[in-house]
Amino acid sequence: MKKVGIIGVGEYLPKKVLTNADLEKMVDTSDEWITTRTGIKQRRMVGRGEATSDLAIKAAKRAIAETSIKPEELDLIIVATITPDMAFPSVACLLQNALHAKHAISFDISAACAGFVYAIAVAQQFIARGGCRNALVVGAEVLSSITDWKDRNTCVLFGDGAGAAVLAEAKSGGILSTYLGSDGSKADLLRLPGGGSRHPATQATIKKRLHFIKMQGNELFKLAVTTMANAAQQALKRAGMECKDIDMVIPHQANMRIILAMAKKLGLAKEKIYFNIAKYGNMSSASTATALCEAVKEGRIKKGDVVLLDAFGSGLVWGACVIRW
């Protein structure tokens, strides 16, 4: 099996900023509540007419520009998203067309907030087994399109953005292990009930607000902490490593308190964790993708460092990945 590494990263955040002060004018909430309960200070929002593929294209171009690979040389494009431009075709196909990556296999992955880690694990398999030479993996979301702006329990949490990574054969290091899991018995805890084949869009589904995120935050909070801690341990075990060997953790950014509680369970110092939740909120698959990109660009991840990606989301799904940078 070939070794697989990440050779380029890129991100794109839409320009519009929605602050906690802005939300105070929309629902019964406060900057103090949002900051202390979640760690979020602001989030980015798409402009009118801007969709998930628009963000994905910009992030992907930046990641590709960091490599010597031309778009027409891409063999595989995977987009992790739960907010595609439309039910079909996939965002990956729209991206393939925009990039003129005419030789790439293209498909989307639906694994919510763990989507970017799932996509990396799948792309790794394609390259390691020799089926593809390289892959473009993107986490892109426009969560503002499925956010209920009248529900203070959820509307303060989410944001829009995209992050991308290019994977290719590595001479040394690269992805050392992956660990993925799921538990569909808890699917009800976080879902978008309307607009699918169960509840196709009708005036009644719109009236019942079924086209917006429904979440049981309390339950998820506890599960997120234990599941992410366990996923980290399992991925490290598969890599033959321990927590002390990690240089930088890129966790999913759902709640600052979830990340800190997970770190406490693992005995991880805060300095070894990358946070971008204050700036962007929870962007589902785009959270880990943009956090990885920013950590690299800011020099927080250097060549030879051991990086842990760790994510958890609706499904339930989870995934962790250990990479020697």
Judged by beta carbon, residue 104 or residue 229, the one nearer ligand COA is 229
Helix (H) or strand (E) holding 161: strand 160-169
Q: Does 239 bind ligand COA (CB under 6 A)?
A: no
CA–CA distance, 13 with 55 (Å, rounded to integer): 7
Q: Which of 134, 255, 276, 282 is catalytic?
A: 282
In eight-state DSSP terms, residue 252 is -
Contacts with ligand COA: how many residues (CB under 6 A)?
A: 21
Does residue 186 bind ligand COA (CB under 6 A)?
A: no
Q: Which residue among 155, 243, 252, 293 is the active-site one?
A: 252
Please give the structure tokens belonging to residue 11. 């991100």
Site for ligand COA in 146-175 (CB under 6 A): 152-153, 156
Indicate the residue among 107 and 221 with the shorter CB distance to ligand COA: 221
Q: Does 182 bind ligand COA (CB under 6 A)?
A: no
Among residues 21 and 206, whose Cβ is nearest to ligand COA?
21
Q: Would residue 230 be called left, alpha or beta, if left means φ above 0 and alpha means ψ between -120 and 50 degrees?
A: alpha
**Shortest separation between residue 242's beta carbon and ligand COA, angstroms:** 26
Retrieve residue 292's tokens: 């990885």
Confirm or reject binding of residue 107 to ligand COA (CB under 6 A). no
Q: Could you tell me the smallest distance in angstroms from the CB atom of residue 83 to ligand COA?
A: 13
Cα 164-14-249 angle, rounded to 5 deg: 45
Q: How far is the CB of 192 from ligand COA (least distance, A)?
A: 13
- Rounded Cα–Cα distance for residues 7 and 138 (Å): 14
Long-range contacts, stretch 181-184, CB < 8 angstroms, 24+ apart: 181/227, 181/231, 181/317, 181/318, 181/319, 182/315, 182/316, 182/317, 182/318, 183/315, 183/316, 184/315, 184/316
Kindly report the backbone phi and psi dihedral angles of residue 135, in degrees, each rounded to the nearest multiple of 5, phi listed first: -155, 145
The answer to the question of residue 38 lying near ligand COA (CB under 6 A) is yes
- The single residue listed with the structure tokens 């460092």 is 305
Only segment of 89-97, 98-106, 164-172, 250-258 that touches ligand COA (CB under 6 A): 250-258
Q: Find the shortest distance in angstroms from Cβ 149 to ligand COA.
A: 12
252 belongs to the catalytic site: yes
* Residue 281, phi then psi, degrees to nearest 5: 65, -160
For the segment 187-226, give every residue that binds ligand COA (CB under 6 A): 190, 217-218, 220-221, 224
> Is residue 285 close enough to count as binding ligand COA by CB under 6 A?
no
- Beta-carbon contacts of 214 under 8 Å, excluding residues fewer than 6 positions away, are 190, 191, 192, 193
CA geometry: angle 71, 77, 83, nearest 5 deg: 120
Supply the minimum distance, in Å, between the C-beta of residue 75 and ligand COA: 31
The minimum distance between CB 316 and ligand COA, in angstroms, equals 9
Which of 17, 29, 199, 241 is in the footprint of ligand COA by CB under 6 A?
A: 29
Q: Which two tokens mark 223?
A: 């599960």
| Residues with catalytic roles | 113, 252, 282
Q: By the criterion CB under 6 A, which residues form the site for ligand COA? A: 29, 33-34, 37-38, 113, 152-153, 156, 190, 217-218, 220-221, 224, 254-255, 258, 282, 312-313
